Amino acid sequence: MRLKAHDLDFSYEEDKKVLKDIHITAEEGEIVALVGPNGSGKTTLLRCLADFHTPEKGEVKIDGMDIKEYTLNEKARKLGYVPQIENISFPSTVFDTVLMGRKPYVSWKPSDQDRRIVSDLLEKLELSRFAMREVNELSGGQRQKVFIARALAQKPMILLLDEPTSNLDLKHQLEVLDIIQQQKKKGISSIIAIHDLNLAIRYSDRIVMLKEGEVYASGGMEVVSAENIEDVYDVEVHIGEHQGWMIVTPDKPL
């Protein structure tokens, strides 16, 4: 098991649990979609898994070892965290931002190999022509790819992505999810907080549905049932099928 978190409880304020008894796992090369309404705890959970928050109860294990036992550099080689982009202001060039991802490997100065890794990533993610541009000048989709590139530069075993497709047009959504899926072939596991249930169905191996800080359901595509969605999102939906894929559509007359 690459990542295993169990029994996690977390609160920002006393007596107000935001996460309760959370169990979540990711196998090697597995893509896990974390779904649930706004405020259900997706970001908080990802931040607990990335060790930015310390749960009051429970533990997060990476490759069998408690995350707290890793040094900062070791942790950065295991985990790449991609935050929500909309609030990020980043006064740095694309190249330098992605180069920061090499920090866990750099003694005091980036080597030619570090620069080559960054150039290769920029090329693969079709960002080379923006290399010397300020990240702040890029579109949402391009910026999202820069932060994914930065996480990939860490050469992590696990990617934790917080709504990597929100605010992106359809082409960029698919591009970003394709990049994540390509990592699967290298054995990299991903846990993705994602709003679009249809994309979650299409791109993930497993779905974990949160409701009010608890895992409401976890498993295969059967998690995305009309009953579960109504109970968790308070929306009636119709589950149909298109070319072998399940499709969720609102069941409400306009």
What does the alpha-carbon distance between residue 211 and residue 40 come to, in Å, rounded to a whole number?
A: 5
Contact status: 87 vs ligand ADP (CB under 6 A)? no
Q: Is 15 in the site for ligand ADP (CB under 6 A)?
A: no
**240 touches ligand ADP (CB under 6 A):** no
* Cβ closest to ligand ADP, residue 42 vs residue 206: 42
Our finding on whether 54 is near ligand ADP (CB under 6 A) is no
Binding residue for ligand ADP, selected from 5, 24, 32, 43, defined by CB under 6 A: 43
Among 17, 42, 145, 150, binds ligand ADP (CB under 6 A): 42
For residue 191, the cross-strand partners are 32, 160
| 39 binds ligand ADP, rule: CB under 6 A | yes
Beta bridge partners of 11: 17
Between 18 and 99, CB nearer to ligand ADP: 18
Alpha-carbon gap, residue 150 to 18, rounded angstroms: 29
Instruction: Give the range of 38-46, 87-95, 131-139, 179-187 binding ligand ADP by CB under 6 A.
Output: 38-46
| Strands 57-62, 3-13: pairing kind | antiparallel
- Helix 140-153, helix 112-124: angle, nearest 10: 140
The rounded distance, in Å, linking the Cα atoms of 173 and 159 is 17
36, 55, 83, 164: which one binds ligand ADP (CB under 6 A): 36
Identify the DSSP state of 87.
T
Phi and psi angles of residue 54, each rounded to the nearest 5 degrees, phi first: -105, 120
Nearer to ligand ADP, 42 or 172 (CB): 42
By CB under 6 A, name the binding residues for ligand ADP. 12, 18, 36, 38-44
